[in-house]
Structure 1
Amino acid sequence: MPTETTDALTGPARNTRPPTAQAALGVGVIVEDGQGRVLLGRHHSGTWELPGGKVDPTHESVAAAAVRELREETGLAVDAGAVEVFAMLHDVIGGINRISMGALVRLDSGVPEITEPHLISAWRWTAPEELPAPLFTPSAQILAAWRPDLALDHPPAHLLRIAGDRDGN
């Protein structure tokens, strides 16, 4: 049962305990090279996916998480100011609300490394019109939010487009 307090000026206050976590927050990073190709990793499960992962619950911004995940997974280094957070997607998997943030980074060049060989067997630059299948569901959702013209098949997700938020907050 919630613990409530009373404030003499405003009446009953809200819960004094933090809410129970009910969502997972992650970021998928579309890395676009100078030729317009995107970077995809071949997961050992057989799916192709964007670099990305969970946003740490330590006051880490979405842009900072994108920078960290990109560096950890590919060895590619970018500044948080180079990250464009463009979409928030929401779906529910296994009873958990999943919030996936779509981020875009443009690089003139870069050679990704396999830094997590237990997860990713290869990184590949791919033209958006030639995306391999199967795509990891959150990656497909993010790519479809970025380029609806690609007509990617993916489970439905609620989409909120974010415009002009270059700092990832």
Structure 2
Amino acid sequence: MKTTPTDTSSRNTRPPQAQAALGVGVIVQNDRGHVLLGRHHGGTWELPGGKVDPNHESIAEAAVRELREETGLEVDAADVRVFAMLHDVVGGINRVSMGAAVSVRSASPRVTEPHLISTWQWTGLDALPEPLFGPSAQVLAAWRPDLSIEHPPAHRLAIAGGA
């Protein structure tokens, strides 16, 4: 009995059923060793970051775009170091957060999305404010496990060449 090959072309072009959200949290560190955190109107402190657009942008490009959109700061994607992938589940959806880091010599962030963030502030690692937004806490803990930051449980995968 002769079998015909299955047509896989439609399988490769149909979008998969959505089951995950992909985002990036950006640790911006200045020349004094402080990190940039924003005060969200919901009461938490968070890193700049957000969703990776489904337009073939890289994680580093998403980090650059989110940083520019949220703070007005301009950095080059080549200077962004992606160091970890974190995975947890929220509301039955897999949440994948990429940890990225970039250093700036001096910078003055601005509130560009006042409906979300009331202020940006440079914070010493010994004085991180609370409460931290869950994904931001996860990214910070992956970046610097020695800080003993409380965060929601997440699976962590270190990125080769990262921290």
Q: Tell me which residue corresponds to 1:117.
A: 114
Question: 1:56-135 maps to which residues of 2 (within 5 A)?
Answer: 56-135=53-132
Q: Which structure carries more strand by proportion? A: 1
User: After the TM superposition, which of the residue ranges 156-165 and 87-96 deviates more from structure 2?
Assistant: 156-165
Superposed CA deviations along residues 87-121 of structure 1, whole A, max 9, x for unmatched, are: 00000000000000000000010000000000000
Instruction: Choose from 146, 149, 154 the match for 1:149.
Output: 146
TM-score (norm 1): 0.89
Q: Tell me which residue corresponds to 1:164.
A: 161
Identity %: 71
Deviation at 1:13, TM superposition (A): 4.7
Note the aligned Cα RMSD (angstroms): 1.5
Name stretches of at least 5 consecutive residues in structure 1 with no aligned partner. 1-5
Structure 1 SS opposite 2:84: strand
Change (3 A) 1:14 1:148: farther
> After TM superposition, which residue ranges in structure 1, 4 or more long, deviate above 3 angstroms?
11-15
Name stretches of at least 5 consecutive residues in structure 2 with no aligned partner. none
The alignment covers a number of residue pairs equal to 157
What is the letter of the counterpart of residue 75 of structure 1? Answer: G
